[in-house]
Amino acid sequence: MTTPTPTRILPPPPCYYATYNSPRAPPNNNSGSYYNIGTCSNLSLVPPSSSSKIKLALWYKSSCSPPKINILLCCCNHNNHLPPLPLEPHGVDSQDSCTLKQQQQQQQQQQQATATAAAREAISEILQKFGASKEDSIDIALRSPKYLAMLLDSVRELDDLSLWDSLTRRTGSQEEESSPLSLKDKVYYMAKEKADKGKIPFLESLGLGLPSATHLARRLSSQTLPNLITKVKYVKDMFFSNSDDGGLIGKKARRMMMYLSIPIDEEVEQTLSFFEKVEARRGGLDMLGSRDATFRYLIESFPRLLLLSLEYHMKPMVNFLESIGVPRGCSRSILILFPPILFYDIEKDIKLSIQAFKKVGAGIEDFSGMLLNYPWILSRSIQENYEEIRFFFEREKVACQDKIVPKVSVDLAIKSWPLLLGCSVSKLKVMVEQFGELGVRNKKLGRVITRSPQLLLRKPQEVLQVVSFLKDLGHEEETIGSLIGRRPDIFAASIEKTLKKKLDFLAMVGVSESHLPRVIRKYPGLFVCAVDRAMLPRMKYLLEIGLSERDVAFMVRRFSPLLGYDIDTVLRPKVEFLVNIMEKPLKNVVEYPRYFSYSLKKKIKPRYWLLKRRKVECSLKDMLGKNDEEFSSEFLDVERMLATPYLEKVADMLCKNDGG
């Protein structure tokens, strides 16, 4: 028999000696040697002091059912003792020893799984006792692992201390005194002893940590479990009816946090704390509208939500928001961005706020729009700051001038961009002074903040960076001040992500660097026109109808707004009328691209039909470039003072007759 090379192992727990009653003879009689002679059941266990010459050690494989016993035959040494087992016995399969630990782990796992199943069953039963449905109880038991582990630990502790008898006597149960308690019974008793009436596992199943769930369960002691389950389902539906919002709610939250620069009250502070908890998660504030990611932190931050009445508080608030013009699907945005609104009294708090904002000319519809964009307008700190902002623009001299920004401009700015209400007056003053240095003051500043109120929330250095950028392109400071008045949104744009991207596109079109100042001065709107969604498709359309890249570049240099016109409502109808009705070649619009700026219905068609009836041929510039008086005097022999009414009347008649 080939003897494998011995491998050192730890001996199994206590080695029993046995006499071997089988007729099978040992392989040899070498004293002190072990041999594996297979599995056998006809053994007679004897104490180690026995004088048997041949003794056996039992090697158990506990993962088998029934356990497998490998018989290790040993010929005793001269002292009639089994030799120690420092080495693996000859002939024993090395896989047995290598898998022993795995087998023990598997057995432990099986025992643990059995215990967990029994504990879950016990938790489910006690939840049902306190009013939960069977379906809800099973779901809660599956999603409260820490509560389950706590109960099992308590059971083991009482097992170790042998205290179950005292527990059953204290609970007054006679049945358990007559028969031993099962693990499920013990877990049930421990859950009952916690006296939380099923609230702790339910709260953990919502995502709360065990300490938070335990603390909150105490606060909710007056609530029944069925009532809590119903309330949580309603709150989830109210806040997270559509979990996929594309991160829009998170974007609003970031903006609200970014532009807040005033001392805040407790309600806004709690809301910020809620945002920060969500932001710390993977996905950040983009997950703010997600039920799975957010609900836990919502309840941790605002536990009072679960104390509110559904019928007398939550449902009336949702109905009120709908009554003032907030769509039902949008009310969740308000609730998530400012949960304390649910604690407000509709008559005493919200309706009074509506009255306060009437000072800026905000009606019910305006107020609902402001609430959607900036729910914090209901907070005490924001409303106090609102009064300070109004006082600043009404009473303070702006940029050391006698005139002030018109109140109507301030009111429109607040209605369209209510985030201004979270900005401190000191910051607003800095920006107002910065605009004054650029020549934008008083009524001109009023026009700027009416069109782009977000500029007041910028930092002075951000505006100065855009000014420097425009100077580098060749614009004078006076021109830059004019650009602010015409297109203030340029100064709220990112230089790298927006302005430079437009320059790159213009260069691709064929606008040289020397032409850039003129192109931008004539049509600064190019800077805020989307390249991929607007300008590029328009350029492709012009190329598709037969114009060359050189033609397009020439047209843009001569008439900058060209790429700002929509294809379906402006470019295509006018091209089709030019080619199909007027029967003019496309080179006409290359020579006079301003053709696209005139109204097809009010100017192009009427003048064309008038000229056609008179059989007058002229260029597009002559047909459209003259005002009504000049056109009538030159082509219709009508006196100047009668020109416009005459043109309107004749044009209307001709358009109807010719199908135009």
371-390 confidence digits (pLDDT tens): 999 999 999 999 999 889 88
Q: What is the mean pLDDT of the segment spanning 538-558?
A: 94
End-to-end CA distance of the chain: 111
- Listed in sequence order, the residues at least 6 apart from 374 whose beta carbon sits closer than 8 Å to its beta carbon are 256, 418, 419, 421, 422
CA distance 416 to 103: 70
Q: What is the pLDDT of residue 539?
A: 93
pLDDT surpasses 70 at 33: no
Residue entry with tokens 């836990």:
296
Which contacts of 593-602 are long-range, i.e. CB under 8 A and separated by 24 or more positions?
A: 593/555, 593/556, 593/558, 593/559, 593/562, 594/558, 594/559, 594/621, 594/624, 594/625, 595/620, 595/624, 596/559, 596/562, 596/565, 596/570, 596/571, 597/559, 597/561, 598/624, 600/573, 600/574, 601/655
| Between residues 548 and 648, the one the model is more confident about | 548
- Write out the two tokens for 94: 């090395």
Q: Are 193 and 206 in contact (CB under 8 A)?
A: no
Mean pLDDT calculated for residue range 86-114 = 67
**637 falls in which pLDDT band (50, 70, 90)?**
low
The percentage of residues in the chain with a pLDDT greater than 70, rounded to a whole number, is 77
**The pLDDT of residue 515 is above 70:** yes
**pLDDT at res. 18:** 41
What's residue 98's pLDDT?
55
pLDDT for position 646: 58
Alpha helices in 27-144 (DSSP H): 94-129, 134-142
DSSP 360-403: GT--HHHHHHHHHH-GGGGSHHHHHHHHHHHHHHHHSPSTT-S-
The confidence score (pLDDT) of residue 62 equals 37
What is the arithmetic mean of pLDDT over 197-209? 94
- Phi-psi region at 486: left, alpha or beta (left = phi > 0; alpha = psi -120 to 50): alpha
Percent of the chain with pLDDT over 90: 45
Amino acid at 434: Q
Predicted confidence at residue 495, as pLDDT, reads 92
Average pLDDT, the chain: 80
pLDDT in tens, 131-163: 999 999 999 999 999 999 999 999 998 888 877
* pLDDT for res 656: 58
Q: Which residues of 525-535 are buried (b: 16+ CB within 10 A; e: fewer)?
A: bbbebebeeeb
Q: What is the pTM of this model?
A: 0.70
The dihedrals phi and psi of 246, each to the nearest 5 degrees, come to: 65, 20
Among the ranges given (179-188, 270-279, 386-395), the one the predictor scored with the smallest mean pLDDT: 386-395
* Strand (E) or helix (H) holding 468: helix 460-472
User: Which of 97-101, 249-253, 475-479: highest mean pLDDT?
Assistant: 249-253
Q: Using H for helix, E for strand and C for coil, what is the string for 306-348?
A: HHCCHHHHHHHHHHHHHHCCCCHHHHHHHHHHCHHHHHCCHHH
Query: Which pLDDT belongs to residue 390?
Result: 83
Q: pLDDT confidence of 545, banded at 50, 70, 90?
A: very high
Q: Give the residue-averaged pLDDT of 269-281.
A: 93
Range with lowest mean pLDDT among 153-157, 342-346, 471-475, 631-635: 631-635
Radius of gyration of the chain (CA): 43
Residues 6+ positions from 497 with CB-CB distance below 8 Å: none
Task: Find where tokens 């069109």 sit.
Answer: 451
Amino acid 542: pLDDT: 95
Looking at residue 247, its pLDDT comes to 82
At 72, the pLDDT band (50, 70, 90 cuts) reads very low
* CA-based nearest residue to 608, from 597, 596, 593, 619: 619
- List, for residues 423-453, the tens digit of each pLDDT value: 999 999 999 888 888 888 888 888 898 999 9
Residue 378's pLDDT is what? 92
The four Cα atoms 223, 224, 228, 230 give a dihedral, to 10 degrees, of -130
Confidence tier at 60 by pLDDT (50, 70, 90): very low
Nearest one of 44, 30, 106 to 58, comparing CA atoms: 44
Highest mean pLDDT among 41-45, 59-63, 251-255: 251-255
The total of other beta-carbon atoms located within 10 Å of residue 361's CB is 13
Model pLDDT, residue 171: 55
Which of 317, 330, 250, 332 has its CA nearest to residue 284?
250
- Residue pair 190/154 in contact (Cβ under 8 Å)? The answer is yes
Between residues 646 and 309, the one the model is more confident about: 309
The pLDDT-based confidence of 127 (bands split at 50, 70, 90) is: very high
Q: Which two tokens stand for residue 328?
A: 């039902």
Unique residue bearing structure tokens 């003794």:
55
Residues 6+ apart with CB under 8 A from 622: none
What is the dihedral sign for C-alpha 469, 473, 474, 476?
Answer: negative
* pLDDT at res. 586: 93
How far does Cα 455 stand from its chain's mean position?
26
Count CB atoms within 10 A of the CB of residue 374: 24
Backbone angles phi, psi at 36, to 5 degrees: -90, 115
Average pLDDT over residues 56-65: 40
The pLDDT value given to residue 178: 54
Q: Mean pLDDT over residues 174-199, rounded? A: 81
Whether 299 shows a pLDDT value over 80: the answer reads: yes
Tally of residues, the chain = 660
Tokens of 188: 């049930």
pLDDT: which is higher, 35 or 273 = 273
Instruction: Please name which of 62, 61, 49, 60 lies closest in space to residue 17, comparing C-alpha atoms.
Output: 49
Q: How far apart are CA 396 and CA 404, in angstroms?
A: 8
Whether residue 355 has pLDDT greater than 90:
no
Q: Is the pLDDT of residue 613 over 90?
A: no
Q: Map tokens 């290598």 to a residue.
A: 98
Specify the pLDDT at position 323.
Answer: 92
> Strands 34-39 and 68-75: what pairing?
antiparallel
List residues bridging with 189 in a β-sheet.
Answer: none
pLDDT of residue 95: 55
